[in-house]
Amino acid sequence: MRMFSVGPDEKIYPVAKIAMVVHALEAEGVGAADSLKGVSLLTRELFSPKTRVSVTQVLECYANALKLTNDPYFAFRTGQKFHVSTFGLYGFAILSSTNLRQTIRFQEEYRQLATPVSDIRFREEHGCATWTITPVADPRINAHLYRFIVEHDFGMLISLHRDVIGAAFVPRELRVRFAEHSGPADLVSVFGCPVQCGKENNQLVYDLAWLNYMPVFGDQIAHLEMSKLCDELLDDLRRRVGLVGRVRELLLHNLMRPINGEKIAQQLHVTPRTLRRKLREQKTSLRGLLDELRMNLALKYLRDTDLATKGIAHALGYSETTSFRRALRRWTRSAPTDVRKQVIKPRPSGPSQQLTAR
């Protein structure tokens, strides 16, 4: 896996996801200025290949869309507007793959190039191919934004599969953690398949037989060439992240027993003074980076697991649970139980609800 640690405010990603949302809102009569409110981006920058944005900016744009759209299925429908060409070299590498399993491995390995706001994993199980979607841990993500991200990613995944396999591709079902969908329409007519609510994970499921289809534009030589270019793009992203990214990775790998600045400087082959200076230039510090990592992981554990608060505190390197509770309240102004309630959880018992045509 070629993923590496990137802070939510680091501007290293292409602007494609924001541009697509802005253009979709324009079709509803919403001006770009409103769509980009709080995003710190000029309209003309949407059309520049040099524009780089952060995960924070993407989430802010998504939040704006939630407030501005009149379409309850805006996220999914906008996700479907994405095609392999939207993602440049990464997309063309996907398109040129010669079999779908190779395509999927490539998508997982290089997904950092697609401005990830979710952790997306694939596996084969029980005669099905399954993509599991988990939005990033971020205090801005409430229940509504969580749903937006999941449905947007569903739309993109379906569209990309159709680009590679053909327009006939249809999922078997979608599974979501939401208890139910608030939209008024028949969900099968919107999503193209049944939607199972109240499940443990957000998943796109389809028959394994689809994996035997030959990609429409597969070309092994072209795929190898595109893969090499994508390696260069990933290297470029790493360089943009720079020292802060390497420090973040070291902190993450030693989170249960945080290492001090002197040891980090030693591993990075710089002096402690140089390390502090370079972090100040990036408007951060060791304490700030450690705090950010702990916050993101705390939100992930609370939202996506049933791990006890004491266990979470230990995993994050806190010697006392009370210290973790104080930190969480500082980050979110909430207690652990309140954070867990912010994301719609699956129903605790009974059969999961299936929304189909009535």
CA–CA separation, 78 vs 72, rounded Å?
11
From first to last of the 358 residues of the chain, give the pLDDT tens digit.
567 778 888 888 999 999 999 999 999 999 999 999 999 999 999 999 889 999 999 999 999 999 999 999 999 999 999 999 898 889 999 999 988 888 999 998 998 888 899 999 999 988 899 999 999 988 889 889 999 999 999 999 999 999 998 999 999 999 999 877 656 567 888 999 999 998 999 999 999 999 998 888 889 899 899 999 998 888 878 777 777 878 887 888 888 887 888 999 998 888 999 999 988 887 789 998 899 889 888 888 888 788 889 989 988 889 899 999 999 999 988 899 888 877 554 444 333 333 333 2
Let me know how many helices (H) and strands (E) the chain has, helices first. 15, 6
Residues 6+ apart with CB under 8 A from 140: 56, 59, 60, 63
* Helix locations, 36-174, DSSP H: 55-68, 74-79, 88-96, 100-110, 143-165
Question: Are 154 and 196 a contacting pair, CB within 8 Å?
Answer: no
Residue 322 domain flag: yes
What does residue 279 show for φ and ψ, rounded to 5 degrees?
-70, -35
Residue 260 domain flag: yes
Chain centroid to CA 306: how far? 21
Residue 282 domain flag: yes
pTM as predicted: 0.77
Residue 249 domain flag: yes
CA–CA separation, 143 vs 116, rounded Å?
19
Residue 20 domain flag: no
Secondary-structure percent of the chain, ordered helix, strand, coil, rounded to 5 = 55, 10, 35
The residue whose two tokens read 């006392």 is 320
Burial class (CB in 10 A: 0-12, 13-18, 19+), 202: buried
> For residue 140, which of 332, 345, 286, 335 has the smallest C-alpha distance?
332
What pLDDT, on the 0 to 100 scale, is given for residue 245?
77
What pLDDT, on the 0 to 100 scale, is given for residue 185?
65
Residues 6+ apart with CB under 8 A from 24: 65, 74, 77, 78, 81
Number of domains in the chain: 1
Residue 312 domain flag: yes
Return the exposure string of 160-196: e unless at least 16 CB atoms fall within 10 Å of the residue's CB, then b: bbbbbbeeebebebbbbbbeebeeeeebeebbebbbb
Domain containing 303 equals: 243-342
Give just the sign of the alpha carbon dihedral 44, 10, 88, 191.
negative
CATH code of the domain covering residue 326: 1.10.10.60
Cα–Cα distances in angstroms (integers) from residue 219 to residues 161, 173, 215, in the given order:
17, 30, 9
Residues 6+ apart with CB under 8 A from 33: 43
Residue 262 domain flag: yes
DSSP 189-211: HHHSS-EE-S-SSEEEEEEGGGG
Cα–Cα distances in angstroms (integers) from residue 225 to residues 101, 110, 235, 340, 358, in the given order:
18, 14, 16, 45, 49
Residue 318 domain flag: yes
What does residue 13 show for φ and ψ, rounded to 5 degrees?
-105, 155
What pLDDT, on the 0 to 100 scale, is given for residue 4?
72
* Structure token digits, residue 106: 């490539």
Question: Are 247 and 279 a contacting pair, CB within 8 Å?
Answer: yes
CA–CA separation, 38 vs 247, rounded Å?
29
